[in-house]
């Protein structure tokens, strides 16, 4: 967006990734966790190139007449984005160098092939015998197709002979532990470098350099342009676009220009797609680097997930939910509660039907096993599988076919719309009548991600909520075109209108001299209409306080730019050991507060082009619990940074007797509360 009233989403996203980099640069972060923040930064940037840079490059290539219809200018924007990335990459390299020096003090050594001792060389010679068979070799004169995200060595031999050697990180550990002082490791890249003579035809090896190629992900122009004639025109203009085109060639900055040109011509990529990097790429592999020492201070102190105070002890899952709504918080509490809900339904003779929407399906899990057990027990199972969940398409489709083969009724993507909701509905016969039980969450049905993503999930048997959710599933099953809703917010049907009405209600109350306040937590804020409504609310004197983890297109104003007596909109972002992922929306409503949680951010795609479900919080105890958690996050003074107009990423400054680190404070709050309930 080239408009001073709104931030550009991609530029704002880059400054979110900078917040990740700041955690890697923070000496207070445990040393090995700093490595993992480098891994997150690296992984994020890879995805950014696959998706956002890919789209910018495609838009840059379309006809000039069509380009003029775009709000932002792809050429100008691409240059700015790449300049910021280059600056961040340089900082990344400097931070990594600092961390490696600190690791040496902890007796953790990353040995290069220039530093190996004779003992280490003998060990590595033996090790390589088991590795060599997995090292694929490609010559440059046979049009090699390098795999997306794969690590390669570009090898120059005498007589202008060149090869690409694939480093087999999918088959072997990236970090090879070797004999030596303390805890010594070697990058698999360097192990392969040491043994190139055994892989390549006879000839003098002059040099070798690491490279990595990233390819375009599928374009989903609807996310930015909607289902509009402009999107159709762009798709038509790109009809000859090759799937999986190279979007970035990352290379060792020491690579000579002449070799760079050989690679460019061999892979048929442009100069704009070449990016200098360090000696090693794919540093997201540091996710798998575990603490080799006995020093627990090198990693975060383990936070064992708390058992849910009610659901972990109940002998009757359904009775507990029927008696009172139940709320779970991940990763602070165990994901067992969600899995056991489906397990109980699969085994319960009274359960007749299980309905669930799956956005990112784990390769294997208790939950998928439970659904298969339900089918074995002759229960009806209806599953909506999102076949266009980016980067999970193949796995989701495979699981959908497995469920279908076992007898489930499986629905895949709806044309032009994704199903992003995190919902399940159980139908159970009780006293000769049908009773429904619902789960509505902010995060995926995935035990692995629940250990690192901060999410919330509501179990309820509330009649209006469960009837609404049944309407949602009927819509997904194509039985209904539009659900009739009493309680739930469901995109693209009523979410936008309810949120806009709620904001307008706060504006009216403020103009009447009544207290007016909007508090919202989300992952991303991009929708222009919602942003404009927040601007109007702020100008009318409504207190607006936002927590936005990722990018935000709202342009915060200073105290001098808002009407006298009004507080500027304050946006903070929390980046800590867990990924903030929950969405909570709270409206003061003249004291009769309304709160919603669910899967939708305030992005146009979430409001208009995805099936999203948000539930009101109707139970007063649960409302208070979520409100307490939200307050801890609003008062975070350790990991929260301000999203200001200049993207300075300044830490929040608050007057407090004791600093609050919200993720630790929430765990302590829930643990204390659970103890009180148990006593």
Binding-site positions read: 44, 360, 390, 453, 549, 581
Binding site for Mg(2+): residue ranges?
A: 360, 390
Contact 14, 84 (CB under 8 A): yes
Structure-token match 């990595």, residue found: 212
Concatenated DSSP letters for 135-170? --EEEGGG---PPTT-EEEEEEETTTEEEEEE--TT
Alpha carbons 6 and 617: distance in angstroms, whole number: 32
Q: Sheet of 246-252: strands edge to edge?
A: 137-139, 161-166, 151-157, 205-215, 246-252, 274-277
Concatenated DSSP letters for 559-622? GGGS-TTPPPPEEEEE-SSSEE---EEEE-GGGS-EEEEES--BSHHHHHSEEEEEEE---HHH
Alpha carbons 326 and 320: distance in angstroms, whole number: 8
Alpha carbons 396 and 269: distance in angstroms, whole number: 32
What is the Cα 130 distance to its own chain's centre?
Answer: 36
Contact 536, 507 (CB under 8 A): yes
Burial code (b: 16+ CB inside 10 Å, e: under 16) for 650-677 equals eebeeeeeeebbbbbbbbebbeeebeee
Number of helices (H), then strands (E), in the chain: 22, 26
Alpha carbons 439 and 447: distance in angstroms, whole number: 15
543-548 and 570-574 beta bridge pairing: parallel
With 0-12 / 13-18 / 19 or more C-beta atoms within 10 angstroms meaning exposed / middle / buried, residue 229 is exposed
Alpha carbons 348 and 332: distance in angstroms, whole number: 28
- Helix 54-61 and helix 74-105: axis angle, to 10°? 160
Q: Is 360 left (phi over 0), alpha (psi -120 to 50) or beta?
A: beta
Structure-token match 């992952």, residue found: 523
Please give the structure tokens belonging to residue 619.
């139970």
Q: Residue 492: is the preceding peptide bond cis (ω within 30°)?
A: yes
Binding site for ATP: residue ranges?
A: 44, 453, 549, 581
Q: Taking the alpha carbons of 662, 664, 667, 671 in that order, is the dihedral positive or negative?
A: negative
Please give the structure tokens belonging to residue 358.
């799956």
Burial code (b: 16+ CB inside 10 Å, e: under 16) for 480-490 equals eeebebebbbb
Gap between the terminal Cα atoms of the chain = 55
Residues carrying an active site annotation: 420
* Three-class SS state of 294: coil
The contacts of residue 97 (CB under 8 Å, 6+ apart) are none
Which DSSP helix (H) or strand (E) runs through 435? Answer: strand 433-441
The three state secondary structure string of 97-138 is HHHHHHHHHCCEEECCCCCCCHHHHHHHHHHHHCCHHHCCEE
Closest CA to 580 of 663, 459, 664: 663
């Amino acid at each position: 967006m080239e408009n001073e009233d709104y931030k550009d989403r991609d530029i704002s996203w880059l400054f979110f990734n900078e917040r990740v980099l700041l955690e890697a640069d923070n000496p207070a972060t445990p040393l090995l966790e700093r490595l993992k923040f480098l891994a997150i930064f690296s992984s994020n940037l890879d995805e950014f190139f696959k998706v956002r840079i890919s789209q910018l490059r495609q838009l840059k290539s379309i006809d000039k007449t069509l380009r003029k219809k775009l709000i932002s200018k792809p050429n100008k924007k691409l240059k700015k984005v790449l300049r910021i990335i280059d600056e961040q990459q340089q900082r990344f390299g400097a931070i990594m160098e600092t961390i490696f020096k600190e690791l040496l003090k902890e007796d953790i050594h990353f040995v290069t092939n220039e530093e190996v001792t004779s003992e280490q060389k003998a060990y590595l010679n033996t090790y390589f015998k088991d590795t060599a068979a997995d090292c694929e070799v490609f010559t440059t004169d046979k049009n090699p197709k390098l795999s997306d995200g794969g690590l390669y060595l570009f090898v120059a031999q005498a007589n202008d002979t060149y090869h690409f050697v694939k480093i087999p990180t999918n088959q072997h550990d990236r970090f090879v532990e070797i004999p030596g002082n303390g805890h010594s490791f070697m990058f698999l890249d360097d192990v392969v470098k040491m043994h190139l003579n055994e892989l390549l035809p006879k000839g003098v090896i002059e040099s070798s350099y690491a490279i990595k190629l990233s390819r375009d992900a599928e374009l989903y122009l609807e996310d930015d342009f909607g289902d509009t004639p402009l999107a159709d025109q762009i798709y038509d203009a790109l009809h000859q676009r090759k799937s999986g085109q190279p979007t970035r060639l990352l290379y060792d900055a020491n690579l000579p220009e002449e070799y760079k040109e050989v690679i460019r011509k061999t892979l048929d990529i442009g100069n704009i797609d070449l990016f200098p990097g360090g000696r090693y790429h794919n540093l997201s592999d540091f996710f798998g680097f575990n603490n080799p020492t006995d020093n627990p201070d090198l990693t975060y102190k383990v936070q064992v997930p708390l058992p849910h105070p009610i659901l972990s002890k109940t002998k009757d899952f359904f009775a507990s939910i029927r008696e009172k709504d139940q709320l779970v918080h991940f990763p602070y509490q165990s994901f067992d509660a969600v899995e056991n809900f489906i397990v109980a339904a699969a085994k319960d003779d009274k359960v007749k039907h299980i309905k669930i929407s799956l956005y990112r399906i784990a390769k294997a899990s208790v939950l998928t096993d439970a659904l298969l057990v339900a089918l074995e027990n002759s229960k009806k199972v209806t599953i909506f599988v999102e076949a266009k969940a980016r980067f999970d398409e193949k796995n989701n489709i495979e699981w959908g076919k497995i469920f279908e083969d076992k007898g489930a009724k499986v629905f895949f993507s709806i044309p032009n719309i994704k199903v992003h909701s995190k919902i399940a509905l159980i139908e159970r016969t009780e006293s000769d009548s049908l009773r429904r039980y619902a789960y509505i969450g902010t995060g995926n049905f995935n035990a692995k991600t629940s250990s690192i993503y901060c999410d919330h999930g509501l179990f309820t048997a509330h009649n209006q909520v469960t009837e609404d959710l049944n309407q949602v599933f009927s819509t997904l099953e194509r039985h209904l075109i539009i659900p009739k809703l009493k309680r739930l917010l469901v995109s693209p049907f009523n979410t936008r209108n309810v949120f806009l009405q709620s904001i307008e209600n706060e504006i009216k109350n403020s103009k009447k001299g009544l207290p007016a306040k909007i508090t919202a937590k989300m992952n991303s804020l991009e929708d222009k209409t919602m942003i404009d409504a927040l601007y109007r609310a702020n100008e009318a004197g409504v207190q607006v306080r936002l927590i936005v983890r990722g990018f935000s297109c709202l342009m915060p104003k200073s105290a001098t730019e808002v009407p006298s007596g009004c507080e500027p909109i304050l946006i903070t972002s929390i980046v800590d050991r867990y990924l903030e992922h929950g969405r909570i929306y709270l409206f003061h409503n003249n004291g009769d507060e309304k709160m919603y949680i669910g899967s939708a951010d305030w992005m146009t795609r979430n409001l208009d082009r995805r099936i999203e479900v948000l539930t009101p919080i109707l139970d007063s105890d649960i409302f208070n619990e979520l409100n307490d958690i939200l307050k801890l996050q609003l008062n975070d003074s350790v990991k929260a940074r301000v999203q200001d107009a200049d993207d300075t990423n300044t830490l929040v400054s608050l007057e407090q007797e004791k600093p609050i680190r919200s993720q630790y404070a929430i765990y302590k709050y829930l643990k204390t509360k659970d103890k009180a309930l148990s006593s």
